Amino acid sequence: MKGRRSLGGLFWFKFTRNYLAVGGAIVVSFLFISALLAPLIAPYDPSFIDAEQVLTPPSRAHLLGTDQLGRDVLSRIIWGGRISLLVGFVAVGITTLIGVILGALAGYYGRGVDGIIMRFVDIMLCFPTFFLILAVIALLEPSILNIMVVIGLTSWMGVARLVRAEFLSLKGREFVVAARAQGAIDLRIIFSHILPNAMAPVFVAAILGIGAAILTESALSFLGIGVQPPTPSWGNILTAGKDNIEIAYWLSLYPGLAILITVLGYNLLGEGLRDALDPKIEP
């Protein structure tokens, strides 16, 4: 227990000394709380149309202005953050699940199993991920569920290769040999002995993947094949901004900043966690 506390203390010390990582953690926490409390903190209903307030610039009544239908931009950005985080977490959950299972099987069994799985990974990597997502979404009905599933099913290759590398380095360790000598079955060795020791880099990859998934969802919504109106999304708010860029700068500026700050926050947090978990980096 003492060793665990000392390792935890070392991790915390290294993480808190990285001010960019702490800043990323603060941004991520703020966004998560804002999305969770969206019904309470949003000043207006994000779908409420006010024909008398069309394209109103930022004011005391509407802090970030209104859009082409008179809807409050701040309220739509807050609710859009909930959509973006939902897509990010679910898509990364699917990505992590697929990547961990395939990477673990490839790294543990090696040879034929490894060859088949890794060749499939190579084939998937030959396709540009974003254009593959575009092609699949174009064949399906645009919806939040389809976007989450498609992003998850097309982004797992990096996690699989990462988990495979960890399994290749861990499966020959003494604790694995001891478990095998005691008669433990393969599934128990994989999921009870090796996988818990390989999850640190996977966790970091998942944090970084959330930012990437949010960026992908925003791009799809901006192109009109992602989250569909009237459901608010940072991407479809930007679409309205594109159509009114010359007279309503706030429709492009504020959702763009929301995407920038969110993705940057997750990237800084992920990089900080990776540095804090790396024993080679001295505190």
Q: Which residues pair with 66 in a beta bridge?
A: 72
The pLDDT tens digits for 84-99 are 889 999 999 999 999 9
Measure the CA dihedral 237/242/246/247, to 10°.
Answer: -30
Residue 202: per-residue pLDDT: 92
Block residue for tokens 């020791």: 197
Residue 25: per-residue pLDDT: 94
CA 17 to each of CA 4, 85, 221, 225, 270: distance values in angstroms, whole numbers, following the listed order: 20, 27, 37, 42, 15
Averaged pLDDT for residues 19-29: 93
Are 202 and 163 spatial neighbours (Cβ–Cβ below 8 Å)? yes
The CATH superfamily label for domain 2-45+63-277 reads MetI-like (1.10.3720.10)
Residue 276: per-residue pLDDT: 85
Estimate to the nearest angstrom the gap between the alpha carbon of 166 and the chain centroid.
Answer: 22
Block residue for tokens 């703020």: 30
| Rounded percentage of the chain residues whose pLDDT exceeds 90 | 45
pLDDT band at 58 (very low <50, low <70, confident <90, very high): very high
Compute the C-alpha angle 89/277/179, nearest 5°.
90
Estimate to the nearest angstrom the gap between the alpha carbon of 63 and the chain centroid.
Answer: 28
Residue 6 has pLDDT above 80, yes or no: no
Q: Mean pLDDT of all residues in the chain?
A: 88
- Conformation bin of residue 233: beta by default, left when phi > 0, alpha when psi is -120 to 50: beta
Selected residue with higher pLDDT from 227 and 157? 157
Q: Burial code of 120-129, b = ≥16 C-beta within 10 A, e = fewer?
A: ebeebeeeeb
Residue 7: per-residue pLDDT: 66
Measure the CA dihedral 46/213/265/5, to 10°.
Answer: 120
Q: Which sequence spans correspond to the domains of the chain?
A: 2-45+63-277
DSSP assignments along 3-60, one per residue: HHHHHHHHHHHHHHH-HHHHHHHHHHHHHHHHHHTHHHH-SS-TT---GGGTTPPS-S
Residue 2: per-residue pLDDT: 43
The pLDDT tens digits for 191-250 are 888 998 888 889 999 999 999 999 998 988 888 888 888 888 898 888 888 888 888 899
Q: Under 8 Å CB-to-CB from 235, ≥6 apart: which residues?
A: 217, 218, 219, 220, 221, 222, 223, 226, 227, 255
Q: Burial code of 191-207, b = ≥16 C-beta within 10 A, e = fewer?
A: eebbbeebebbbebbbb
pLDDT band at 110 (very low <50, low <70, confident <90, very high): confident
Q: Burial code of 51-90, b = ≥16 C-beta within 10 A, e = fewer?
A: eebebbebeeebebbbbebbbbbbbbbbbbbbbbbbbbbb
Averaged pLDDT for residues 185-190: 89
Q: Burial code of 209-235, b = ≥16 C-beta within 10 A, e = fewer?
A: bbbbbbbbbbbbbbeebbbeeebbbbb
Averaged pLDDT for residues 144-168: 90
pLDDT band at 179 (very low <50, low <70, confident <90, very high): confident
pLDDT band at 279 (very low <50, low <70, confident <90, very high): low
Reading the block at residue 19, the tokens are 């001010």
The pLDDT tens digits for 125-150 are 888 878 888 888 778 777 888 888 88
